[in-house]
A = this chain, B = another copy of it.
Amino acid sequence: MFFHVQRLINEIVPGEPDPAAANALQEGLGGQFGEMRTMMQYLFQSMNFRGPSAKPYRDLIQGIGTEEISHVELIGTTISRLLDGSPEYSGKPTDPVDKPGAGGATPLNIALSESNIHHYLVGAQGALPVDAAGNPWNGSWVYNSGNLVLDLLYNLMLESTGRLQKCRIYEMTDNVTARSTVAYLIVRDQAHENAYAKALETLGVNWKTALPIPKTNAEKFPEVKKLLDLGLQSKQYTFDLTGQSEAGKIFQGLSPSNDGTELIANEQAPAGVPSTIAPERFEEFSPGLDTDLLALIQATAEMELADIEALFAPVPPTK
C-alpha cells in the first residue's frame, strides 16, 4: 500500500521557461530508460518476486521503486514548470496571451516551431507520458524475467543508461531549472547503480574498477558536484513507513563506485520541499472555469468549511 505527502523529493530551482529543455527532459520521464520505466519495472519485480529467503533483494528493489514514483513526480513537475508560460518567450511577444483567440490573435504560435507541439495542443503546457522524440511510453519495455541475477543485471544496466542519458541532457542545456532536476537525478541514478552493483556483489561478482558506468568525472558538472560532496550517491532511503525493509542488509559497506565512500541506508526519506500548484493559462482553456464555475467553487468551499474542520484535525505544516 502506498501513501503520499504534498512535498517534492527535491527542490526545483525557479528559472526561465524553456520548451526545448522541457522536451529533452521528456526522455527522462517517458523514455525507454526514464523514470516511468524504472518505477514500473521495480513495481512489477516486487509484486512477482520469488523466494522468501531472498527478501532483502525484494526490499531493495521495492524501496528504489517507491523512490522512482517520487522521481516521476519531480521530473514531471519540472517539465511542467519549463513549459509554463513559454508562449510569452517566443520572440514574438503577443499581447492577448490571456485572452484566447481574441481578435484573431495567435498566442500559441510558438507551438509550431518549438519543442513537441503536443505540449501545447494535447496537453496544456504540461508534461506528457512520451519520450523526447514523441513516442508514447510502452509496457513492453518492462523487464522482469523472474531470474534474480538477470533482473539485477538489467536494473544495473538500466540505471547506468538513465545516468548516461541524463549526463547528455545536461550537456544540451544550461537552463537552471532543467539542470537542478537533472543533476539531482544523475546522483540518485548513481546511488541506484551502487545498489544493484552491491546486490550482484553479494551474489558473486567483483566489479573491481569497472564502475561507475559511464566512467565520467561527474565532478565536472558543477550542480552534480555539490550533491556528491553531500554523499547523496551513497545513501539509500527505505521509503518504508513501518520499518520492515531489509534492504540495508545489502546496501552497506564500501561503494562499488570506487569513490571511497561507504553506503548508508539508515534514513526513511529525505525532507523534500512543499509542492505548489501552477497558475491558470487562459490561452489553453486550463483549468477552464468561467466566473460562474468559480463562484460555485467558492460557495461550496465556504459552506463546507465548518464540516470539514470537524473531520480533519488541523495539521501543522510539514517541516
Enumerate chain B residues within 8 angstroms of A221, measured Cβ to Cβ.
101, 104
- CB of A173 within 8 A of CB of B106, answer yes
Complex formed: what's the CA distance from A28 to B98 in Å? Answer: 24
Enumerate chain B residues within 8 angstroms of A222, measured Cβ to Cβ.
103-104
- Within the complex, the shortest CB–CB distance from A3 to chain B, in Å, comes to 4
Within 8 A of B (CB), among A88-111: 99-109, 111
Most buried by B among A133, A171, A222, A298: A171
Complex formed: what's the CA distance from A44 to B6 in Å? Answer: 15
- CB of B150 within 8 A of CB of A315, answer no
Point out the residue from B66, B205, B265 that lies within 8 Å of A206, measured CB to CB: B205
- CB of B288 within 8 A of CB of A124, answer no
Complex formed: what's the CA distance from A158 to B313 in Å? Answer: 32
Within 8 A of B (CB), among A270-319: 270, 272, 276-281, 283-290, 292-294, 296-298, 300-301, 304-305, 307-308, 311-313, 315, 318
Enumerate chain B residues within 8 angstroms of A300, measured Cβ to Cβ.
202, 249-250
Report whether over half of chain A's contact residues are helix, strand or loop; otherwise say mixed.
Answer: mixed
Point out the residue from B204, B244, B311 that lies within 8 Å of A315, measured CB to CB: B244
Q: Please count how many residues in chain A sit with their CB below 8 Å of the partner chain's CB atoms.
A: 174
Complex formed: what's the CA distance from A101 to B220 in Å? Answer: 6
- CB of A121 within 8 A of CB of B206, answer no
Query: Can you list, as one digit per residue, whether each of A40-58 has a CB less than 8 Å from chain B (1) or not (0)?
Result: 1001100111111111111
Point out the residue from B62, B205, B272 that lies within 8 Å of A210, measured CB to CB: B205
* Contact of A191 with B by CB under 8 A: no
Q: What 3 A-B pairs come out closest when comparing CB atoms?
A: A124-B146, A48-B126, A137-B139
Q: Can you list 29 residue pairs at the A/B interface with Cβ under 8 Å?
A: A3-B3, A4-B63, A6-B245, A20-B113, A36-B139, A49-B287, A51-B279, A51-B280, A58-B277, A101-B216, A104-B221, A108-B172, A122-B165, A123-B146, A124-B146, A126-B146, A130-B139, A137-B137, A145-B161, A147-B164, A147-B284, A150-B213, A157-B157, A205-B207, A214-B285, A216-B288, A248-B312, A252-B307, A252-B308
